[in-house]
Structure 1
Amino acid sequence: LGTPKVIWEGSPSAGAELATGKFIADGHILENPENNQNLWLGGDVWQATNLNNNWLEYLHSFRWLIDLYHAENEDGAKKRGQELVAAWIEQNTRWREISWRADVVGERNTNWLIYAPLILDTEDLTYRRRVLDMIARQARYLMNISTNAWVIPNNLKAIIGLILSGLFVPGGEGWLKEGCSLLKVAVEKEVFIDSSLRSEAPQKLLQLYLSFVLLGEAFKQAGREEPEEVLGAILRIEINLKNIIHGDGKLALFNGAGIQGGKDIRLALLKISQKSNKLERPEQSGLARIEKSKSLIIMDVGPPPELNMSAASHCGTHAFEMSRGRERLIVNCGGAPFINEDGASLIATNLRGSEAHSTLVLNNQNSSEIRKDGLIGLGVTKVSSRMIEGRGKVLIESEHDGYVLSCGYLHKRLIYASETGESIRGEDIIEHHKISKSIEVVPFNIRFHLHPNVSVTQSDREDMLCLRLENGEEWYFRCRGAERSLKSSIYFGEEEKGTATKQIVLSGKTGGPITTVLWSLQLK
């Protein structure tokens, strides 16, 4: 059995916890109601109940092996990894909805192959044979369902697992051939020619990017020519990935992304020598980016993805984030995919709503409906945007129709940045749409969620707030056309339980066919 080379770094601290029985994903601990220390001993975790799908996918894909592999106690990590693999095989020989879902199977085979030095380094020949038999069985399973590849969610994970099995398992030529054939079509289907993934989820974008880089390295390691689809996908995804990274090297918080994985992003980008082209139009990726000196603004200018791809999508059209160097100023609230406590479903739904984003909310409604089945329904269908540059200044103009059917209004947002990036001006316009015969008076709130490290004080002038960054920079916030207030917020970008923070809210009611609110951020 050959194995792909380990090219990504895990978390030694999370690996050390896992070796003792504690599972940690993106900073979230998997709680065990039967153990006051949240330890999962032996193979107990495979019998866990009431876990959400994110945890089930994380566990059964063996995504956590990357952390266990990098734990300092190598012997303890091997013992724990082999214990968990043996228990999984014992308890999952029959089909189950999550553990035998094709994308999970593909990712599991990928991880078992990569971390074979961890899970197969033993003199127990019976155990080794069972693991190798299961790897082959999983590859055959992927091969058998390959004719239905296009109805498989996240089918690229399944295809990549099939290809790696073909590259490194003896006798796997048929799997390799079928996987490469599927890959060619999948890249065109899943990775748009304009570099936009259909789900528009930054976390998925990063995971796929890392998978394709790994796949390219695996072909080279096996002494085979890298398919042009692999390099093409890497370059296409790289364009979008660069577009959603803040000055701290980590992801912007759109569509549930967390900021973990900054090191992975930098390492991945370093492995690709080609220079990808810059996006010419913001609508190409669904996100527009202004970068002036140390100031960076990323704005959502895309509609939600198509219905069947929207399970993890947020209602954040026209939301924006702003960072200054490595420090974040304006943020979205983020996502909490691994919260598994009471009320977790409500928390996750609220974080997907428009109010959890730095954007306008009309009539206390989401810009797009979150249906009972979790998919995105009626709301934004069209977003028109453009970026204008001249004399070093940049202006983003965007318009969406998310509130036309429910309230009769369009939302237009303009954000301007000076050539130095030290003066940011915004304009939110609520404009009556001709489809609505009457002009209704409806309330609005424009929210600016602040990063927890930003302190807010009233300035000497009553019309200004002073926002102070950890590096000592002070920014003055002003507005006109709405009543300003400072309210509590919560930030799920980093911490397991969420971090308390503040938000600036500009409130009012529509006053005729056009209502305009002006706001600005000025460096002191």
Structure 2
Amino acid sequence: MAQLRRKPVSSSGSKIKNPIAKALSKAKHSSFYHDLSLRGENPLRLLGTPKDIWSGSVTAGTQIVSGKIIAGGHVLKNPDNTQNLWSAGEIWKASNLSESWLEYLHSFGWLRDLNQAVDRDGAKRRAQKLVESWIDQNTQWGEISWRVDVVAERISNWLIYTPLILDTDDVIYRGRVLDIMARSARHLMKLSSDLPEGPDALKTLVGLIFAGLFIPGGDEWYREGVSLLKFTLGKEILADGGIRSRNPQEQLHLYMNLVLLIQSFQQVGRSVPEELKSAVSRMASNLKAIIQGDGKLPLFNGTTIHNHEDIYSCLLKSGQNDINLSSLEQSGFARIAKGKSIILFDVGPPAEVEMSRNCHSGTHSFEMTRGAHRLIVNCGDASFIDDTAGYDLRTSSRGSSAHSTLILNDQDSSTIREDGLIGRGVSRMESKSIHEDGHILVESEHDGYVDPYGYLHKRLIYMNETGEDIRGEDIIEQDISSKSTENIPYSVRFHLHPDISVTLSKAGEMVYLGLTNGETWQFRHRGGSLKVEDSVYFGDAGKISTCKQLVLSGGTQGSVTTILWSLKLEGI
């Protein structure tokens, strides 16, 4: 029996800055004295650059050359330009941008896509204009632009894509770029004693070490970064290779940067810390275990599918493709796989509050693929989608109802606070997997609805030895501490991929789900009333798709309410 706990919210927010702390931080880091402390000898050249082995999106890179800004397949809308083109000068002055957009812009993560553009000369010109205008407008402290993890990613990306941003005869521009890189590294060094929680800590250290390896005079940065990295890897990378934020996309990108870091150590003749080798190996094992049938990531906790990111390809390039699958036990996921069917089941609480800004309230949700075809899905993440209709799409996409799980009284199992972090809700989970004669049963229980309603949610998912017979059981059980007899409405949602065709039987008791490969799956249930409703899918980067969802609804009945459902391949 695996038990996972989340610290009570009241005692886990020590590193969340309140308004007064933010004001003090701004005053300190925007002061003349802090600026003075970042000055030093200007480097005249780099000692080398990390060798990038990862591919971006050719389509996105071409669009960036043309003047657009792309993130997660979505175009940043420019209200002053009908074609959504941005000049190098105006992008850094854009107002009303979400935190996700600001982080992405100021980290220069989009250089990976720009590096894939067919028009190489055009890509260089665009990159250099954007870097130069950033320096013109952002040398002073900004809450996002100079946040340590963003600074570190900017250093990493500028070093990795030096052939884009520094291939010029303009010595004044080159000097400014090298100077700001060195100042940024000094900024990281000064703040390295107070690292953020979660993946941001490792992002910060990767940037500091890259600076120490490739910027002249960076020996102290290198030593400090490596020393902290050895400790932080043990804290942030779980025993099964997962990460504490429970975001598969963050995990993949962090893995890719750590692989580049290993190659950079080898490139300059430095020994690779054993802690780093071990962490990367565990992460590869974990990533291999959460790969869906189409080779992409599952849509948990802020993840979006990027068509140019194939996990098997990443593992192959990093030399980790032959590694065994992780148990996923500490990560809070369960893999149920037989034949061509794969189910990934969320059996963990949300990330701790201080690292939950991208986390979803999707406990007990699951996704199912059949071969390369997605069948049951979560709705995905709407962070970069232009919210023209006035809806808070990002918050909606993070809510429990946007996931294939059970919801009580239309309330999230874990609350999403006004500051965007995950608050009270699921704090204790228990799960176990039973393997017998090729059959798999996973049982899990969470307490997210105990505080408001006095009920536990138990979910059981079974798969037979061929992967063609799936059965589920959702149990709403009164907690031992509760005496409530109130009837609470529930809904059990199964969001379907946009490619799935849906046909309701004449009697309305069964649904036929058609895959594009010709297979038909039968959905049956006992308990609750069945409806087919509209849904929306944010999973495919670059577009919003309409789709359907199956909804079983009813109300609690006494101390225990049970809803049974099944998915079977037609013809077995």
After TM superposition, the score normalised by the length of structure 2 is 0.89
Taking the aligned partners of 1:82 and 1:285, their CA distance within structure 2 comes to 40
Taking the aligned partners of 1:246 and 1:41, their CA distance within structure 2 comes to 39
Name the aligned partner's letter for residue 326 of structure 2.
L
Does the aligned pair in 2 maintain the 1:215–1:230 contact within 8 Å?
no
Taking the aligned partners of 1:264 and 1:148, their CA distance within structure 2 comes to 35
Aligned match of 1:400 in 443, 446, 454? 446
What's the counterpart of residue 510 of structure 1?
556
What's the counterpart of residue 307 of structure 1?
353
Is residue 325 of structure 2 the alignment partner of residue 278 of structure 1?
yes
What's the counterpart of residue 93 of structure 1?
139
Taking the aligned partners of 2:184 and 2:215, their CA distance within structure 1 comes to 12
Aligned match of 2:531 in 485, 491, 498? 485
Once the two structures are TM-superposed, the CA of residue 109 in structure 1 deviates from its matched residue by: 0.7
Once the two structures are TM-superposed, the CA of residue 341 in structure 1 deviates from its matched residue by: 2.9
Taking the aligned partners of 1:204 and 1:159, their CA distance within structure 2 comes to 15
Per-residue Cα deviation, 1:52-99 (whole angstroms, up to 9, x for no partner): 111111111111111111111111111111111111111111111111
Is residue 76 of structure 2 the alignment partner of residue 30 of structure 1?
yes
Query: What does 1:6-45 align with in structure 2 at a 5 Å threshold?
Result: 6-45=52-91
Aligned match of 2:98 in 47, 52, 56? 52
What's the counterpart of residue 395 of structure 2?
349
Which one scores higher on RCO, CA 8 angstroms, separation ≥ 6? Answer: 2
Per-residue Cα deviation, 1:376-429 (whole angstroms, up to 9, x for no partner): 122111111000001110001011111111111111111110100011011111
Query: What does 1:40-119 align with in structure 2 at a 5 Å threshold?
Result: 40-119=86-165
What's the counterpart of residue 160 of structure 1?
206
What's the counterpart of residue 138 of structure 1?
184
Is residue 517 of structure 2 the alignment partner of residue 471 of structure 1?
yes
Q: 1:283–1:344: structure 2 CA closer, same or farther, 3 Å change rule? A: farther
SS at match of 1:148: coil
Taking the aligned partners of 1:152 and 1:295, their CA distance within structure 2 comes to 32
* Paired positions, count: 523
Taking the aligned partners of 2:335 and 2:326, their CA distance within structure 1 comes to 10
What's the counterpart of residue 205 of structure 1?
251
Q: 1:385–1:393: structure 2 CA closer, same or farther, 3 Å change rule? A: same
SS at match of 1:98: coil
Name the aligned partner's letter for residue 60 of structure 2.
A
State which drifts further: 263-272 or 155-164. Answer: 263-272
After TM superposition, the score normalised by the length of structure 1 is 0.97
Once the two structures are TM-superposed, the CA of residue 363 in structure 1 deviates from its matched residue by: 1.5
SS at match of 1:387: strand
Unaligned runs of 5+ in 1: none
Once the two structures are TM-superposed, the CA of residue 464 in structure 1 deviates from its matched residue by: 1.5
Does the aligned pair in 2 maintain the 1:381–1:402 contact within 8 Å?
yes
Aligned match of 2:417 in 346, 358, 371? 371
Does the aligned pair in 1 maintain the 2:306–2:541 contact within 8 Å?
no
Per-residue Cα deviation, 1:156-202 (whole angstroms, up to 9, x for no partner): 11111111111112222211111101111111121123433111111
Does the aligned pair in 1 maintain the 2:247–2:359 contact within 8 Å?
yes
SS at match of 2:112: helix
Name the aligned partner's letter for residue 12 of structure 1.
V
Query: What does 1:118-517 align with in structure 2 at a 5 Å threshold?
Result: 118-150=164-196, 154-260=200-306, 263-274=309-320, 275-280=322-327, 282-342=328-388, 346-459=392-505, 462-517=508-563
Name the aligned partner's letter for residue 267 of structure 2.
Q
Does the aligned pair in 2 maintain the 1:361–1:446 contact within 8 Å?
yes
Does the aligned pair in 2 maintain the 1:190–1:198 contact within 8 Å?
yes
Name the aligned partner's letter for residue 390 of structure 1.
E
Does the aligned pair in 1 maintain the 2:53–2:317 contact within 8 Å?
no
SS at match of 1:56: helix
SS at match of 1:130: helix
Taking the aligned partners of 2:274 and 2:357, their CA distance within structure 1 comes to 31
Taking the aligned partners of 1:403 and 1:151, their CA distance within structure 2 comes to 27
Once the two structures are TM-superposed, the CA of residue 36 in structure 1 deviates from its matched residue by: 0.5
Name the aligned partner's letter for residue 385 of structure 1.
S
Does the aligned pair in 2 maintain the 1:283–1:385 contact within 8 Å?
no
Percentage of identical aligned residues: 56
- CA RMSD in angstroms, aligned pairs only: 1.6
Does the aligned pair in 2 maintain the 1:103–1:152 contact within 8 Å?
no
Per-residue Cα deviation, 1:124-174 (whole angstroms, up to 9, x for no partner): 111111111111111121112222225697121111111111111222221
What's the counterpart of residue 5 of structure 2?
none
Does the aligned pair in 1 maintain the 2:197–2:355 contact within 8 Å?
no
Once the two structures are TM-superposed, the CA of residue 268 in structure 1 deviates from its matched residue by: 2.2
Q: 1:189–1:23: structure 2 CA closer, same or farther, 3 Å change rule? A: same
Q: 1:345–1:308: structure 2 CA closer, same or farther, 3 Å change rule? A: farther
Taking the aligned partners of 1:152 and 1:380, their CA distance within structure 2 comes to 19
Taking the aligned partners of 1:260 and 1:429, their CA distance within structure 2 comes to 35
